[in-house]
A and B are shown apart, each in its own frame.
Chain A
Amino acid sequence: MERIEILQGTLDLIVLRALATMGPQHAYGLAARLEQVAEHPLMLNQGTLYPALVRLEQNGWIKGSWQKTENNRDAKYYAITRAGTRALEKQTDRWHRLAGLVNKLLVDER
């Protein structure tokens, strides 16, 4: 099984994006969603996800609140904030530029 290590700094972008498109999610939901999108188990252990959530919350980009799941369990739901949306746009922009650059380099070097 191939492991994809998440590039430093990109996890924040992925989480923000997921929250922006799917609405408020708990950590389990986020993890499940990421695995699903990645089509194969992304090596995303909780040790990576939780610090990212804390980081984003400290930045004021997401906000967590305790709610009930559909199965009536307690879970902390995270929602993207206005500042988070703005940050997402900026980060997405930067990502595209960076990805373009890396792609170009990789293609040229081949």
Chain B
Amino acid sequence: MRRFLARLIGTARQARADAELEREMAAHLALLEDGFRRRGLAAADARAAAQRALGSAAYARDLHRDARSVACLDDLGRDLRYALRTLRRAPGFTFVVVMTLALGIGANTAIFSVVNSVLIRPLPYTDSARLVRVWENVPGAEIGNGKGPNRRYAAMDVADLLAVSERSRALANVAAFSFARATITIDGDATRMDGFGVSPGFFPMLGVAPLVGRTFAPEESIAGGDRVLVLAYDAWQRFGGDARVLGRTVAFTGNSLGWFSDGIVPEVPYTIVGVMPPGFHFPYDNAQFWIPRAPARSPDGRPVRRETVARLADGVTPVAAAAEMAAIRSDVRGASTSMVGGRPRYELIPVQDELTGPVRPALLVLMAAVGVVLLIACVNVANLLLARTASRQREIAVRAAIGAGPGRLVRQLITESLLLAGLGGVLGIALAFGGVRLFRLLATTLGRSDLGLASVFPRLSEVSVDAAALGYALAVSIATGLVFGLAPALRHARPRHAALLRDLSASPRSTIGGSLVVVEIALATVLLVGAGLLITSFVKLSTVDPGFEPAHVLTFQVLQSTSPRPEEQRVFAETFVERLRGVPEVQSAAYGRQLPLVQLQDSLTVTLRRGDVDVTLAGEGADVRFVSRDYLKTMGIPIVAGRGLTEADGEGRPGVVVINDALARRSFAGSTPVGQIILFGPQGHRVPLEIVGVAGNVRQFGLDRAPEPQYFMDIRQVPTDPALRAPPLFPVGAYYSVRATADAGAIAAAARAIARQLDPHATLTDVATMEQIVSNSITRPRMYAALVGVFAAVALALAVIGLYGVMAYSVAQRTREIGVRVALGAERRDVMRLVLRRSLLLTAAGIALGVAFAAGLTRYLESMLFGLRPLDAATFAGVAAMFAAAATLASYVPARRAASVDPLVALREE
């Protein structure tokens, strides 16, 4: 201990101690000199002899320094300075190594940031690991007329919900919520607000305090006292972001009969009582406000379903809680099916898994991909370092000869590689910031809930390079520095000094370089195969025929400041579209309750009239579209038989319908559908519709999903009388579509002006071209293809550089041998063949190894692929061929150099 203290002090007082030692050794030298002179040597000889006798002063000083200080601290400084000098002398080498590492570390840090932000970091709610979403699997025997298919609901029957929240011990809390869509006019502009009606336990369960004001009191969930609302932070900003917003009243407008009105009464004042902190958007990203809403059974006894979130009691597993819920249900209802199609009645899924589950496999694939890139980078750098250290043999031998111990040499080499890794790490972190921005750009969607959650990336707004990611980058840098630095350090730190000083050419040819390149090529092949599959899949997806012509079509919704009834909405839409047609550039304009790729599904069973008998086709639903007569024309959906909807159809005229090809093939196989009758509406209210035409298939719910049976009704013929129990005309408002020759911005401006003529506060919302909507639907496949593609490109480049490096180095080392061969009569061709053969052997081995690995790994991509299998032969072959070509190109230059070796020069060189 005492020595250690003395050493620490010694480290601090380096300069003084050095001077002291210098003086002591000078004295020693003088004494020696005196001695030699006494023995009769001349002054100069005596000095020389003394110096010889004293030995290497530098070595003594080094050892002395080691003895008196904490050597590592002290050496570190010197090693770093030395390493910096060395690297500065080889700027090309340094640049390549640092860039290689920066790419590896940067890609890793960026993807780790995403993985950490999305999968690892807990959700910002109290003890969020215990929050679960409830799914219910319902047997077909309990649905509709008792003959439906088994279904899986994200919502619970309210009767069961109430029983469970009363009796459950496994659940600490249960809360229900339902979606509400309304319009609020702010500063004269109608503004869409999506929100949720939430049960009293909702906010306390999440444990997030409001930023301003309060959340709901229990009595506010009772009808009549429920005219209060809490705003999300961003909605608050639209109200000015001022605390004086508390107590202010707002009136919602909108269709109180829509599916998503959730009991909001239009045109009555609601009081703002609180504002949630930024980023709080439970249960979905589109949440702009919350209103209190106690789950209640419907008065007419029909089952009501509510989405449910629950908090598990301490120590209870989701499976145990689900079993208890099923038991409570059986208890309350007498008996009930507890297993449905092999699955339990209830399934509780942690909220975070529910949210991030769809992207988890892909994120893990990306993480693996960047891991491979980093491995390749390390291998590449190790290779470069090996080659360089080999060429530094003489320097190392000299250092060893003047007294550097093997430990010091290893330390020096490791310091150099850590310094390189550190530089790479710093640059990599900068790249990671860029990479995360790129990721967010690639993952950003139109952010519309009506286009489906499949394209929205969960927690995207939380994705950032945070402290954890920086720590990760640091750890990765150090680890890589050690990994790629250790091999050359151990290999060369014990040089055969004497031999090396005499003859450098005696060093054996390295085969390590070769095997490293094989590994590198194999890893890159795996990535390239993955990227090839994803890219081919994306190309297939983006070139698939959607069934409509998305170019030149603009779509939007119109928000009104009033609360029109469904038939008034239809009148508004008719007038609006009529005026739109008057705009010169507009070729056709239409409206309807949905658009292609809008995720609103109304699947109704199809009833056919055969002769005098009505036949309901069991289990054969078809998706119903309520559209204006120009919809098919505007969307570019072709009519393949009969006619489309026309002006002459309409209210009061005989009912007509256009079915799609899929429905024709399924339900009218072997007969001509045109002229037949199908029946629309619930039993007792059926309306006969004559099939007048057959339209082409549309990929309604995603480009990756096969077209489903559909039929198109003229929206003017859809009954709006609630007594007829027809589905609501516009559950989320009408969608307009315009095909025009002018650009989208001009058409949108014209549409806005027309809307303002009809309603002075009207605004356009969800404005997007059909091309944007199509592109939005394939955001994730595009992102995966782009990211893995970039990583694979980097891997390919690194592997080719690695191969080039090894070949160039081996040619340089064998210059003399090649010279001898040429002198003995070898042709240029022979020499080139010699080099190319080795390179091709390495490449072939690498590709073979890589293909074998890839064949075992690509099945993890299966869920991300469209239209091809994980073992797609064409992709595998293409990648192998591409790699072989790139490798040949990379080894051509060294081969040429080898072939042009001048034997005279080569032999004289030594």
| Same complex origin of A and B | yes
Contact residue range for chain B?
20 to 34
Is A99 close to B, CB under 8 A? no
> Given the complex, which residues of A lie within 8 Å of B27, measured CB to CB?
26, 28, 73-76
Q: With the chains together, A71 CA to B32 CA distance in Å?
A: 12
A29 contacts across to B, CB distance below 8 A = 31
Contact of A46 among B3, B23, B30, B54 (CB under 8 A): B54
Q: Is the CB of B31 within 8 A of A50?
A: no
Q: Point out the residues of chain A lying under 8 angstroms from B31, CB to CB.
A: 26, 28-29, 69, 73, 75
B1-21 vs A, CB cutoff 8 Å, 1 = contact: the mask equals: 011001100100000000001
Asked if A21 is an interface residue, CB under 8 A from chain B, the answer is no
The answer to whether A51 and B28 have CB atoms under 8 Å apart is no
The verdict on B759 contacting chain A, using a C-beta distance below 8 Å, is no
One of A2-10, A52-60, A87-95, A102-110 at the interface: A52-60
B66 interfacial by beta-carbon distance below 8 Å: yes
Complex Cα–Cα for A74 and B29 (A): 11
Taken together as a complex, chains A and B put the C-alpha atoms of A71 and B7 apart, in Å, by: 34
Q: Chain A residues with Cβ under 8 A from B57's Cβ?
A: 46
A47 touches B2 (CB 8 A): no
In residues 32-59 of chain A, which contact B (Cβ within 8 Å)? 32, 45-48, 50-51, 54-55, 58-59
A-B contact count (CB 8 A): 71
8 Å CB contact of B67 from A51, A71, A74: A51
A46-B55, A50-B64, A54-B67 are known contacts. Are A73 and B34 too (CB-CB below 8 A)?
yes
Nearest Cβ in chain B — how far from A86, in angstroms?
15
B residues 524-566 touching A (CB-CB < 8 Å)? none
Q: Which residues of B contact A18 (CB under 8 A)?
A: none
Chain B residue numbers with a CB within 8 Å of A60 are 2
A72 to B383, CA, bound (A): 60
- Which single residue of chain A is at the shortest CB-CB distance from B62? A47
Point out the residues of chain B lying under 8 angstroms from A69, CB to CB: 31
Which chain B positions have C-beta within 8 A of A28?
Answer: 27-28, 31-32, 35
Q: Say yes or no: A47 contacts B59, CB within 8 Å.
A: yes
Question: Smallest CB-CB separation from B38: which chain A residue?
Answer: A71
B874 within 8 A of A: no
Our pick among B34, B55, B68 for the contact of A54 (Cβ within 8 Å) is B68
Q: Does A27 contact B (CB under 8 A)?
A: yes
Q: Which residues from B are CB-within-8-Å of A50? A: 21, 24-25, 60, 63-64, 67
Contact in complex: B63, A47 (CB < 8 Å): yes
Identity of the chain A residue whose Cβ is nearest the Cβ of B56 in the assembled complex: A47
Chain A hits for B67, CB < 8 A: 50-51, 54-55, 58
* Contacting residues, chain B, for A32 (C-beta < 8 A): 35
A2 to chain B, nearest CB (A): 18
* Chain A residue nearest in CB terms to B30: A73
Is the C-beta of B406 less than 8 angstroms from some C-beta in chain A? Answer: no
Residue B140 is within 8 A (CB to CB) of chain A in the complex: no
Residues of A within 8 A of B60 (CB): 45-47, 50
Cβ contacts under 8 Å, A54 to chain B: 64, 67-68
- A27 to B21 alpha-carbon distance, docked (Å): 11
Residues of B within 8 A of A74 (CB): 23, 27
A28 shortest CB reach to chain B, Å: 4
**Residue B403 at the chain A interface, CB threshold 8 Å:** yes
Task: Specify which chain B residues have a CB less than 8 angstroms from the CB of A46 in the assembled complex.
Answer: 25, 28, 54-55, 57, 60
Minimum CB–CB distance from B791 to chain A (whole Å) comes to 52
Q: How far is the CA of A54 from the CA of B17 in the complex (A)?
A: 11
Question: Given that A74-B27, A76-B27 are contacting pairs, would A58 and B63 also be in contact in the complex, using a CB cutoff of 8 Å?
Answer: no
Please encode chain B, from 77 to 114, with 1 for each CB lying within 8 Å of some chain A CB and 0 for all others.
Answer: 00000000000000000000000000000000000000
List, in ascending order, chain B residues with CB within 8 A of A48's CB: 63
Q: Would you call B24 and A76 a contact (CB within 8 A)?
A: yes
* Candidates B2, B35, B63; contact of A51 at CB < 8 Å: B63
Distance of B68 from chain A, by nearest CB (Å):
5
- Report yes or no: B3 in contact with A59, Cβ–Cβ below 8 A: yes
**Nearest chain-B residue to A74 (Cβ)?**
B27
Known A26-B27, A28-B28, A46-B55; contact A58-B64, beta-carbon cutoff 8 A: no
Q: 1/0 contact trace for B32-69 toward A, CB 8 Å?
A: 10110000000000000000001111011011101110
Question: Is A27 within 8 A of B68, CB to CB?
Answer: no
Residues from chain A with Cβ under 8 Å of B23 in the complex: 74, 76
Q: How far, in angstroms, from A29 to B6 measured CA to CA in the complex? A: 26
Nearest-Cβ distance from residue A73 to partner chain B, whole angstroms: 6
User: CA–CA, A105 to B403, complex, Å?
Assistant: 36
Task: Enumerate chain A residues within 8 angstroms of B6, measured Cβ to Cβ.
Answer: 58
Tell me the bound Cα distance from A58 to B9 in angstroms: 11
A59 to B7, CA, bound (A): 11
Query: How far is the CB of A11 from the nearest CB of chain B, in Å?
Result: 12
- Do A47 and B403 have beta carbons less than 8 Å apart? yes
Closest approach, in angstroms, between the C-beta of A63 and any C-beta of chain B?
A: 13
Q: Are the CB atoms of A51 and B64 closer together than 8 Å?
A: yes
A54 to B10, CA, bound (A): 11
The answer to whether A51 touches B59, judged by C-beta atoms less than 8 angstroms apart, is no
B2 touches A27 (CB 8 A): no
CB distance from A110 to the nearest CB of B (A): 35
Interface-centre pick from A48, A50, A55, A75 (highest chain B CB count, 10 A): A50
Decide: B55 and A47 in contact? CB cutoff 8 A. Answer: yes
Q: In the assembly, what is the distance between CA of A58 and CA of B4, in Å?
A: 9
Determine how close the nearest CB of chain B comes to the CB of A24; give it in whole angstroms.
14
Report the Cα distance A58→B59, complex, angstroms.
20
A88 to chain B, nearest CB (A): 18
Q: CA of A45 to CA of B54 in the docked complex: distance in angstroms?
A: 7
CB of B21 to closest CB in A, whole Å: 7
| Complex Cα–Cα for A21 and B10 (A) | 30
Question: Using Cβ atoms and an 8 Å threshold, which residues of chain B touch A71?
Answer: 34
- Give the residue among B25, B31, B55 with the most A Cβ atoms within 10 A: B31
Pick the contact of B3: A45, A58, A73 (CB < 8 A).
Answer: A58
Compute how far the CA of A20 lies from the CA of B23 in the bound complex, rounded to whole angstroms: 25
Please indicate the chain B residues that have their CB under 8 angstroms from the CB of A27 in the complex: 24, 28
A27 to B, closest residue via Cβ: B28
**How distant is the Cα of A27 from the Cα of B77 in the complex, in angstroms?**
30
For the complex, give the distance between the alpha carbons of A60 and B62 in Å.
22
Give bound CA distance, A55 to B59, whole Å.
17
Which residue of A58, A73, A75 contacts B68 across the interface (Cβ within 8 Å)?
A58
The distance in angstroms between the C-alpha atoms of A50 and B59, with both chains bound, is: 11
A73–B3 CA distance with the chains assembled, in angstroms: 31
Shortest CB distance B537–A (Å)? 67
Q: Which residues of A contact B59 (CB under 8 A)?
A: 47
Q: Once the chains are docked, how many angstroms separate the CA of A47 from the CA of B25?
A: 11
B213 → A minimal CB distance (Å): 69
A29 to B63, CA, bound (A): 20
Question: Who on chain A is nearest to B59 by CB?
Answer: A47
Bound-state CA distance A27–B60 (Å) is 13
Closest to A64 in B: B24
Chain B nearest Cβ from A76, distance in angstroms: 5
The docked-state distance in angstroms from the alpha carbon of A27 to that of B32 is: 11
CA distance A47 to B62 in the complex (A): 8
In the complex, A47→B6 CA distance in Å? 20
Measured CB to CB, the nearest residue on chain A to B7 is A58
Are A26 and B28 interface neighbours, CB within 8 A?
A: yes
A81 to B509, CA, bound (A): 58
- B7 proximity list for chain A (CB < 8 A): 58
Can you offer 15 A-B residue contacts whose CB atoms are under 8 A? Answer: A26-B27, A26-B31, A28-B31, A29-B31, A32-B35, A50-B21, A50-B60, A51-B64, A51-B67, A58-B7, A58-B10, A58-B67, A59-B3, A73-B34, A74-B23
- Known contacts A26-B28, A74-B27, A75-B27; 20 additional CB pairs below 8 A are A27-B24, A28-B27, A28-B31, A28-B35, A45-B60, A46-B28, A46-B54, A47-B55, A48-B63, A50-B21, A51-B63, A51-B67, A51-B68, A54-B68, A55-B67, A58-B7, A73-B30, A76-B23, A76-B24, A76-B27
**What residues of chain B have their CB less than 8 Å away from a CB belonging to chain A?**
2-3, 6-7, 10, 21, 23-25, 27-28, 30-32, 34-35, 54-57, 59-60, 62-64, 66-68, 403
Residues of A within 8 A of B (CB): 26-29, 32, 45-48, 50-51, 54-55, 58-60, 69, 71, 73-76
Closest 6 CB pairs of A and B: A51-B67, A28-B31, A58-B6, A45-B55, A47-B60, A54-B67
